[in-house]
């Protein structure tokens, strides 16, 4: 993991086409702007985890439904 210090209006580059800019620092909170190509998906980590969990539940539910049909 890379840990760096950035001030307001400073940025970092990820590869050649993703830029993360610090746009505001306020009371322990940092607001970031992310410039990336449209085909790059950007999600907050907590939202990503929720999507993964919902997908797991859906797969499990579908498997249970399939087993019920097979047992009939």
Helix (H), strand (E), coil (C) string for 1-70? CCCCCCCCCCEEEECCCEEEEEEEEECCEEEEEEECCCCCCCCCHHHHHHHHHHHHHHHHHHHHHHHHHH
Residue whose pair of structure tokens reads 């993703």 in the numeric block: 18
Per the structure, the complete domain to which residue 15 belongs is given by: 1-39
Quote the number of domains for the chain.
Answer: 2
Q: What is the pLDDT along the chain (72 residues), one digit of tens a residue?
A: 999 999 999 999 999 999 999 999 999 899 999 999 999 999 999 999 998 888 887 777 656 666 566 666
Question: What is the reported pLDDT for 12?
Answer: 97
**Do 1 and 31 have their domain in common?**
yes
Q: Same domain, yes or no, for 34 and 1?
A: yes
pLDDT at 54: 86
Same domain, 33 and 2: yes
Residue 17 shares a structural domain with residue 49 = no
- Phi/psi of residue 37, nearest 5 degrees: -60, 150
pLDDT at 31: 96
Do 28 and 50 lie in one domain? The reply is no
pLDDT of residue 64: 60
- 35 and 5 assigned to the same domain: yes
Q: What is the pLDDT of residue 16?
A: 96
The dihedrals phi and psi of 44, each to the nearest 5 degrees, come to -65, 145
């Amino acid at each position: 993991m890379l840990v760096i210090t950035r001030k307001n209006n400073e940025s970092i580059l990820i590869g050649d086409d993703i830029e993360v800019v610090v746009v505001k620092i306020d009371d322990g909170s940092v607001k970031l702007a992310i410039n990336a190509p449209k085909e790059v998906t950007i999600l907050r980590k907590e939202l990503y985890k929720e999507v993964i969990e919902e997908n797991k539940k859906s797969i499990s539910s579908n498997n249970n439904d399939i087993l019920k049909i097979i047992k009939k």
